[in-house]
Structure 1
């Protein structure tokens, strides 16, 4: 019961304050740890497919495990000092693990540049959010890329963290964030990370499998609630939810594409390499800047539904186990 209350308060704190730049963030520490351990492992293992694969497995195991044990140990120590110290720390860390407000704020910056007709500024702002090359994107392509990243990160930044927070508290939440951060840093299919990042990418696929599919359904429900094309969201979700190189990304992107009546996905350039991807949705109309706040609305609604659904499920399980 206390974990549910703590996570709910953390969710509200995230909606209110987002991620202030002056506030030290644990994910930054996780990222620095990944970089240092990667450098160490590359020095210790041969630069062969087998050597890089072994090093990558060690990285994919050590970072999440250390994140879980360290946060769990600190929370246990806090609990022995004072229950309320534990509660405050657990709530604060729950807040830092979630990213709904940050996602809304960063995507809205892209929208504001587009609405003002500043394509160059929109491209630059988008480059902070996506891995693809943005310098040659049209205004419509910038809009689509922003919609895609909001839809995908509704799961990665909110639904999945809530799922693991309510399943195992902050330690499991940080374990998830470590896995997700590993994927974002080393989980690429390029020459540098094809073997080294494979374990991290596969682990991320596994832990996001269920949350991504739940999130796709919740985005569809959100489309109905917000007066968007809920039937289209459900139809495209069912048809195109596997139209991606990742087993999870299209689960949410398909619901967003269907709700908006636009086509997402397709071939883009990532780190100088052309990556061919299937399209998602129907091009019933061109994407427009207003699709970004519409997607943000679905993201926020799905986030609230996630907290409500997972929270009720945890409450029922706790009551049944008493």
Structure 2
């Protein structure tokens, strides 16, 4: 096994460990924050000077992706310290540790009856309105965001890290950040965020399905109801407006046995989301903790599978490895 292949395996492994142990420290500089600041700045200028917002969104996407790829490629190629940059950007692109830590925190607040604190903490994880949520709505929303973001925040970035290295990972994260900030179907963002939303759908297509199947095998390790989940999850996944979000969400809903979807408030307006999972099965504390455990095991299954696939494909198809 060559040094290049060893490094392409070692860096993701180190990144996974750092994400699990450290997570995303508060007030620590993070590339996503800079991408977000750039998007805010570009939006302010575009609205003043351009009328074709859809075209502006396309150019913004191309510009920021090219910058992400170029800057990180340059930094990781620096002799000696390039490996440190590679480790940092790989670790910074993964967000499972923080997601599960914050998810458990919200769950604990609900369990203690601190609903107002739980609503505030949940509002940091979701774009929906949390101010008037009851206990059941908080737990359901928490289950939805944890299962969806298992793919968006960890498995999809890891997929591109293993496949293309840190630079490719940050092209994906740039698209994902643009979609999360501009991807709303409202008057403000429908045109400006169109390109980011569509490319995010394309880039997340394979990872979302990998996430669902990794979750299925993790469910087997936990002796969950994988037979029923396998029977129903694809039908439910296709109910969603997003071509990808429903895959991990519906698999989680059926494995754990909790309903997702239903009436949800966004920006003061009610939206009836498709029902996923067994009807009228509520989320309670045990199920939330079980979901967090399922996500950890899913991440482990996916990580091992992606790295092994990298090794096998490299040895089979690339003689220089």
TM-score by length of 1: 0.94
Matched, 1:14 2:10: no
Counting only pairs closer than 5 Å after superposition, residues 1-322 of structure 1 correspond to structure 2 as: 1=5, 2-46=7-51, 51-76=52-77, 78=78, 81-82=79-80, 85-283=81-279, 285-320=281-316, 321-322=318-319
Q: 1:170 to 1:299 in 2, by over 3 A?
A: same
- The 8 Å contact of residues 223 and 233 in structure 1, kept in 2 or not, is answered as no
The runs of 4+ residues in structure 1 deviating greater than 3 Å are none
Q: Which whole-Å deviations, capped at 9, do the CAs of 1:140-171 have from their partners, x for residues lacking one?
A: 11101001101001100111011000011000
SS for the counterpart of 1:283 is coil
In structure 1, what is the Cα distance between the partners aligned to 2:287 and 2:65?
Answer: 35
- The 8 Å contact of residues 261 and 272 in structure 2, kept in 1 or not, is answered as no
TM-score by length of 2: 0.94
Query: Shift of the alpha carbon at 1:301?
Result: 0.9
Runs (5+) with no aligned partner, structure 2: none
Query: Shift of the alpha carbon at 1:275?
Result: 2.3
65-74 vs 278-287, greater mean Cα deviation: 278-287
In structure 2, what is the Cα distance between the partners aligned to 1:64 and 1:275?
Answer: 32
Q: Which whole-Å deviations, capped at 9, do the CAs of 1:60-116 have from their partners, x for residues lacking one?
A: 22212211111111212x1xx22xx22222112211111111011110111111110
Query: Shift of the alpha carbon at 1:298?
Result: 1.3
SS for the counterpart of 2:265 is strand
Q: 1:136 to 1:115 in 2, by over 3 A?
A: same
Query: Shift of the alpha carbon at 1:284?
Result: 5.7
Q: State the aligned residue count.
A: 313
